[in-house]
Amino acid sequence: MRHGWSLLALAGLMVCAAGCGSQPPGGAAHRPSSLTGAGRPSLAGKPAPLASPAPAGPFLIDLTWISDRRGWALAAAPCATGLCPRLASTRDGGHTWQMLPDPPVRVPYGLGNCPPVACVSHLRFATPAVGYLFGPALYQTSDGGRAWQRVPGRPVEALEPSAGTVVRVVYDHGGCPGPCDRVVQETTAGSGAWHTLLGIPAASGGYSAAAQLIRQGTATMYLPLYGHIAGGGPSAHALIFSSADGGQTWQQHPDPCGGTGRSEHDAIGMAAAPGGFAAIMDR
């Protein structure tokens, strides 16, 4: 399998640069850690696949940071019902962790055992107090993760906070083959009033298998819609939407490294970089 990195200028030329790698640049949001489920979390371990057979021990699901010292970790531990969530926070850059009460959610394991209204697989904090558990359900905390309340609404595929605001991608239903009729919405951190920034019709990427949301400050954001690489269709190229004005207007870009036939390369990951650029990994 070939992997490469591309650079996408928000308002400039898209250039494909070959290379090797499996980690996005930066890495501040991917610090290694795991939760033991009892006592102080350890800092050894890595994510495990969410599939049968059952994992032998706890494993990390997601990390979120609001500074280089303040962060939270979501993990899963085997329990009588399959997998149970574990939550912890750090104030010293991950050197020590403090366990928080288990959130009232389920985490995915195997097939069909995670109710959509309670199932989450991602964690983000916008401020020291306001945080979100999502994917596809949405839960919100206003006290740093000690208590969580479910937020009713459409399933949430992606969510990213930045500078006091929160942007999310919600969808109507699945099976196109991915989530269908996506809508990009924004709110102030902690508020329950969301307003629409972008609606994505099926004709312009509504049938993509997965969406990702990347933000740089309050103004710049990217929304790549990844193709279904196992679908056997003519191509699995990504479609990328970008905005430089906080979601007021959007530009649509083709996959910057998308070839055809034997030379086809499809974007499978994207990460923000300083200066209005983003790095894209292809396969």
Within the chain, how many helices (H) and strands (E) appear? Answer: 0, 21
Q: Which residue has the tokens 């969510």?
A: 159
CA distance 202 to 25: 31
Residues in the chain: 283
- pLDDT, position 207: 59
- pLDDT, position 25: 32
Q: Global pTM?
A: 0.78
CA distance 213 to 282: 17
Per-residue pLDDT of the chain (283 residues; tens, 9 = 90+): 444 444 444 433 333 443 333 333 333 333 333 343 333 333 333 333 334 455 567 889 999 999 999 999 999 998 887 788 999 999 999 999 999 999 999 988 765 567 778 999 999 999 999 999 999 999 999 999 999 999 999 999 999 999 899 999 999 877 666 788 899 999 999 998 999 999 987 656 555 788 999 998 778 999 998 887 665 555 678 889 999 999 999 999 888 877 666 677 888 888 887 777 778 887 7
- pLDDT, position 185: 96
